[in-house]
Amino acid sequence: MRPAEAHCRDQTVFQVILARHSVRSYAPRPVTESEIQTLLEAAVRAPTALHQEPWAFVVIQDPVWLKRISDVARPLFLHNLLHKTGSGNARTVKTFADPHFNVFHDAGTLIVICASPELPFSQADCWLAAENLMLAACSLGLGSCVIGSAQEALNTPAVKAELGIPPEYSAVAPIVVGHPSEEAVATGRKTPQVLAWKRA
C-alpha cells in the first residue's frame, strides 16, 4: 500500500471534510500521474444533473505554462478589482500589482475543470466535481486551492486555443494541487445559519 493510500484509509469522510483547507504554499515535490488520475476519478463521481456529466479537464504541470497563464491572469484580475467590482482592498491590490506574484502560489500542478455550457446546471456540476477533487486531494495528503483569479484568463480565446479547450467549453474551476510546504490547520467556520426549519 502506498503511504497516500494508508493516509486516506485512516480518515473518515467527515474527518477529511474538516481537515480540508486552502493551501497557498507548496513544496517543489511533484504530484504524480497516479495521484492526478485518482483526483480525476473522484471528481467524476460527483452528482450531475440529468446524468449529463458536463465536465472536461485540463491538467498543466509545465512551470513555463503556469507562469504564462499567471502573467495573463494577474492584470486581468487587478483590472476587475479596481474598475468592475470596486471590492479590492489595499493588500490584495498590492499583491496583484506585483509583477513577480504567481497567482498559482508556485504550485506545480493546475487542474482546470471545464463545463459544456449548453447543458443545464453544467457549472454547478463542475463545482460539485471540484469539491470531490479537493476532498480526495486532502485524503491523499495533498493541498489544494481554487484560483478564482485565473478564471477570466483561462477563458480568453487565446489561452483556450493554446490549451486545446474547445470554444463551446468554459473554464469553471481552476484548482492548484501539490504538497504543502508547511503544516496548516483548517480555518473555523461560522455556525450554520438556518433560515427556516419547518417541522410537523
User: What's this model's pTM, rounded to 2 decimal places?
Assistant: 0.91
Q: Quick check: is 142 in a domain?
A: yes
- Specify if 190 maps to a domain: no
pLDDT (0 to 100) of residue 10: 67
- Is residue 136, in this structure, part of any structural domain at all? yes
Residue 33 within any structural domain of the chain: yes
Helix ranges (H only) for the chain are 3-9, 13-19, 33-43, 63-80, 90-97, 122-139, 151-154, 157-163
Q: What type of residue is 164?
A: G
Determine contact, residues 152/158, Cβ cutoff 8 Å. no
Query: Cα dihedral sign for 61, 64, 68, 73?
Result: positive
Q: How many CB atoms lie within 10 A of CB 195?
A: 4
Output the CA torsion sign for 166, 168, 171, 172. Answer: negative
Among 41-55, 76-90, 112-126, 159-173, the least confident range: 76-90
Residue 198 lies in a domain: no
Query: For 183-193, what is each residue's pLDDT tens digit?
Result: 877 678 999 99
Mean pLDDT, all residues of the chain: 92
What is the domain range of residue 145?
A: 3-178
Q: What is the largest CA-CA distance in the chain?
A: 60
The domain tally of the chain equals 1
On the 0-12 / 13-18 / 19+ scale of CB atoms within 10 A, 47 is exposed
Q: Is residue 187 part of a domain?
A: no
Task: Measure CA of the first residue to CA of the last residue in the chain; give whole Å.
Answer: 50
Kind plus residue range of the DSSP H or E element containing 112: strand 109-115
Looking at the predicted structure, is the pLDDT value of residue 199 above 50?
yes
Q: Is 196 within the bounds of a domain?
A: no
CATH number at residue 171: 3.40.109.10
Q: Is 16 within 8 Å of 142 (Cβ atoms)?
A: no
**Is 82 part of any domain?**
yes
